[in-house]
Amino acid sequence: MAATTISVEQDQFCCSVCLEVLRDPVTIPCGHSYCLECIEDYWNRAKQKGQWSCPQCRQVFNPRPLLSRNTVLGELVEKLQKTGFQAESQQSSKPEEVKCTSCTVRKSKAVKSCLMCVGSYCASHLKAHEERFRGKGHKLIPPSDQLKEKLCPQHDKLLRLYCHNDQHCVCSQCVKESHKGHETVSVVDERAKQQKKLQETSLKSVQKLKESEKELRYVIRYIKHSTEAAQEESERIFSKLIRSIEKQNSEVKELIRVQGKAAVSQAEEELEKIQKEMAELKRTGAELEKLSHTEDHIHFLQKCKSLHFPTKPVEMPSTDALHYLMYKTTKGALVNLKDNLDDTLQKEFSKISEKVTLLKESSSKNNSERSKVKDADIPYNSEPKTRADFLQYYNDIILDPNTANSYLCFSDGQRAVTTRADPQPYADHPDRFTSWAQVLCKAGMAGRCYWEIEWTGNGGVSVGVCYKNMSRAGGGSECKLGHNSKSWSLDCSPTACSFQHNKESMTLSAQCACRIGVYLDFRGGTLSFFNVSDAMVLLHKEKITFTQPLYPGFWVGLGSTLKLCSI
């Protein structure tokens, strides 16, 4: 029985979350398939309150479906990666068969074409041709059905030259007449020059699109983290208000969610455009590859002009404006809303809506301006230089009593903590540190943020950041700030200073001061600590790829006091 051939494309086996070929594919109840890691990460971050949906058709499942590897689909993807996609590519590049022009009854397959005779010949007629024109300089080329295109339409002579002035192929008679005095070269030399130029342009286009694709993926992830951090801050403030404000709380969160979704949608549209351009570029590259193997120089020069490679830069969303929208502006407006309560509730909420709309328009305008600047754009990971520059990103962080260890005692309006020998009568809470004398701040951060603290005493302190899911219960390293993979800290004592992460310690030559500044650039992937007692001196800078919003956290030694600074 003859084997059945099925035509498939690689895009049919791509995960719609990561846009790559499926890895460990799983199929959910609605029938759509994803990478196991991608769908688990999507559901873990969705926070849908007991409901889990499909990223494509949005069908909701409750309870959460159990996931198991689709063995048949996995084996099919692996097999097609090895054979299927390559075979399809090879089949699509198979040249068309050229018939012999001298055969009268049944046309045989041509093996050569003659440029002088403007004809194609099978093996038997080629032999007769060679016997008749032996030694007369008839140029034989691989079989082609486009021989007339290689002749000058005016003089009926072979197009052997290329005119740079008029940008097309000419014959020797054209050079003597209408192209007299023009700069001409042989079609062989011109073909080699243009082929090299096109190949270089193709490589540059591929590299630029890959870089843009990578940047857009990061921007999408950054926008989602910023949206999550802003929603958490909104939830914290609204939780202190009376029941009459709960309706407005939902509306503000919805407003942030919609704007975050719109920003993600905008970036995803750009990503989809890149995917389409990549597919088109792949098709054009295949045509160029096919064209590069032809020995027919004239055919190459006539067809290569139709090959185009995109050079327009991809417009990137302004993430700095998004952070300002998602965090600072919303937070400031909501604090005012809390102080004015019911009498000004509707008025202040209208202000929030207006600010969100204006900032979104400003963000779009900034994107347009940045696209005009192109290579002169300031890189996204550039950092402030002076303390005044850092203070532009200042955040008035607030300690969360629900996370404080029972041996920590609050003072100065809950802006300072001291470790005592006797425990405080705090209520049980799942977020509370049970063994280490630590406390976290209430709001998560996912942008450019700066804050300062002061400390005194002989017990020392640790100043750092951590993910929200860092363990709290127990005395192991998984709960100690800076001693696990989910936290980073600067450990300070009167005599020494060190940086801690994931059980690794780095002793710093600089001595810690009583006032420390912390700068976080979530998107740029940097965490920096500064001595700001006299001048602003860098103590340590760490390059990190953050994957979740970060919470400022502190450990306070027995007898020491740590205080949040107000600027």
Calculate mean pLDDT across residues 95-116.
80
pLDDT of 318: 65
What pLDDT shows up at residue 3?
A: 47
Instruction: Let me know how long the chain is.
Output: 567
Q: Which residues contact 560 (CB under 8 A, 6 or more apart)?
A: 418, 419, 455, 456, 457, 458, 459, 460, 461
Other C-beta atoms within 10 Å of 290: how many? 14
Contact call for residues 277 and 209 (beta carbons, < 8 A): yes
The residue among 535 and 424 whose pLDDT is bigger is: 424
pLDDT at residue 292, as a whole number: 86
Q: For residue 75, what pLDDT is reported?
A: 84
Ramachandran assignment for 171, one of left (phi > 0), alpha (psi -120 to 50 degrees), beta (any other): beta
Question: Reduced to 3 states, what is the DSSP secondary structure of residue 187?
Answer: helix
Could you tell me which residues are beta bridge partners of residue 520? 449, 527
Place of tokens 């004809």: 119
Is the predicted pLDDT of residue 345 greater than 70, yes or no?
no
Query: 451 or 299: which carries more pLDDT confidence?
Result: 451
CA distances to 13, 35, 75, 268, 474 from 70, in Å: 13, 10, 9, 28, 39
**432, 472 Cβ separation under 8 angstroms:** yes
Calculate mean pLDDT across residues 456-484: 94
Q: What's residue 372's pLDDT?
A: 41
State the pLDDT confidence band at 375, using cuts at 50, 70 and 90: very low
Say what the pLDDT of residue 360 is: 57
Mean pLDDT to the nearest integer, 506-512? 85
* Strand, coil or helix: 489: strand
Which has more pLDDT, 220 or 3? Answer: 220
Which DSSP letter does residue 522 get? T
Least confident of 46-50, 124-128, 228-232, 518-522: 46-50
**454 in helix, strand or coil?**
strand
Q: Which of 132-136, 272-276, 366-370, 425-429 has the lowest mean pLDDT?
A: 366-370
pLDDT at 554: 97
With both helix axes pointing from N to C terminus, report the angle between 246-292 and 187-238 in degrees, rounded to the nearest 10: 170
What is the sign of the dihedral through the CA atoms of 483, 489, 492 and 498? positive
The token pair at 287 is 């045509």
What's the pLDDT score for residue 181? 87
pLDDT band at residue 319 under the 50/70/90 scheme: low
DSSP 83: I
The pLDDT value recorded for residue 92 is 43
Longest CA–CA span in the chain (Å) reads: 113
* Residue 376: pLDDT over 80: no
The reported pLDDT for the residue numbered 305 is: 79
**pLDDT(221) > 80:** no
Is pLDDT at 215 greater than 50 in this prediction?
yes
Q: Which of 52-56, 165-169, 195-199, 248-252 has the lowest mean pLDDT?
A: 248-252
Is the predicted pLDDT of residue 306 greater than 90, yes or no? no
Residue position matching structure tokens 């490589």: 203
Most confident by average pLDDT, 51-65, 183-197, 413-427, 499-513: 413-427
Cβ 67 vs Cβ 17: under 8 Å:
no
* Per-residue model confidence as pLDDT tens digits over 537-555: 999 999 998 888 899 999 9
**Average pLDDT in the 306-331 region?**
67
| Average pLDDT over all residues of the chain | 81
> Residue 186: is its pLDDT beyond 60?
yes
DSSP string, 372-383: HHGGGSPPTT--
Q: Of 371, 275, 355, 258, give the one whose Cα is nearest residue 317.
A: 371
Query: What are the backbone dihedrals phi and psi of residue 540, each rounded to the nearest 5 degrees, phi first?
Result: -165, 145
